[in-house]
Amino acid sequence: MSARHTEVLIIGSGPAGYTAAVYAARAMLKPVLIAGMEQGGQLMITTDVENYPGFADPIQGPWLMEQMLQQAVHVGTEIVNDLVTEVEMNHRPFTIRTDSGTVWTADTIIIATGAKAKWLGIESEQQFQGFGVSACATCDGFFYRNKDVIVVGGGNSAVEEALYLSNIAKTVTVVHRRDSFRSEKILSERLFQRPNVKVMWNTEIAEVTGKPARAPLPPSVEGVRLRDTRTGTISDQPIDGVFVAIGHAPATELFRDKLKMKNGGYLWTAPDSTMTDVPGVFAAGDVTDDTFRQAITAAGMGCMAALEAERYLAGIQPVAIAAE
């Protein structure tokens, strides 16, 4: 078993983690980033990215994450391909144990472990992920202009996704396995007023259908097989895209009962800050963001976390900054 110390230890390797690493390294803090099992986060399963600033043409999600990784390394970040298994935050320096047996101590921690979309769990869904099956309308809705799409779910997320898509797609069909929405009433009423939206109650997706990959063409969605949850009746419906909106699961198990959390298990941070309720511990990106969940907002929060960690290490207490 080995032991090492660092001023800034970053847990997670998505846009938030890599951006925090870039800023911390440029501040000469020599950060260590423990990458985890799924390096690059959700962008690693994203194909065309058109909404990340700085690129006139669509870019590939994995390519973007590789560039962020190389940038973090270039400015002085140490990347450790390991998995954090335990974190002790009841005294400083904090103690972090990893799967390899290494024990780290750190003066500050930046948590950027992200969140995962909840999926339906059917085999065909996995086959078409990124090729007609998505969990982010804001990310991928643009590709379905004047096309027919389905949104799966019945909570606020599903209704908000359907409202967003109704401004882009030709038609939006909301599929919900129950007979009423769990969303806020004002949202559902707004949805019912959209002329190009219809709702299928007591219905679930049994299978996503389409063409498998045939080089050089990727797989493509052509329809869904629907099941009536009351009768079990199966029906087929042609469709261009499927958006799964049944919630997200933040990767916060390591911090349960150790850090204050919001509804849904997201980490709580102080208003206009990335500070958690434990001084010296910061949270950035989808692990705390239950509203936007975009790569660009995660990167912005990673920047904030690194700057706040730098101020914390310098003994500077957070203060309100007057507008110029």
DSSP 8-state assignment for residue 314: T
> If we measure between CA atoms, which residue out of 314, 259, 312 comes closest to residue 108?
312
Phi, psi of 271 (to 5 degrees): -55, 135
Q: What's the token pair of residue 309?
A: 């960690």
- Single out the catalytic residue among 139, 240, 286, 289: 139
Helix spans in 75-229 (H): 123-127, 137-140, 156-166, 185-192
Q: How far is CA 196 from CA 4, 133, 148, 155, 165, in A?
A: 58, 20, 10, 19, 10
Establish whether 139 is a catalytic residue. yes
Establish whether 140 is a catalytic residue. yes
- Return all residues near 295 (Cβ < 8 A) that are at least 6 apart: 14, 15, 43, 49, 52, 64
DSSP 8-state assignment for residue 122: -
Establish whether 136 is a catalytic residue. yes
- Single out the catalytic residue among 140, 240, 286, 290: 140
Residue 213 CA to residue 129 CA, distance in Å, equals 12
Decide: 192 and 170 in contact? Cβ < 8 Å: no
Give me the DSSP letters along 221-238.
Answer: EEEEEEEETTT--EEEEE
- Single out the catalytic residue among 48, 136, 148, 228: 136
Residue 322 CA to residue 324 CA, distance in Å, equals 6
Active site residues: 136, 139-140
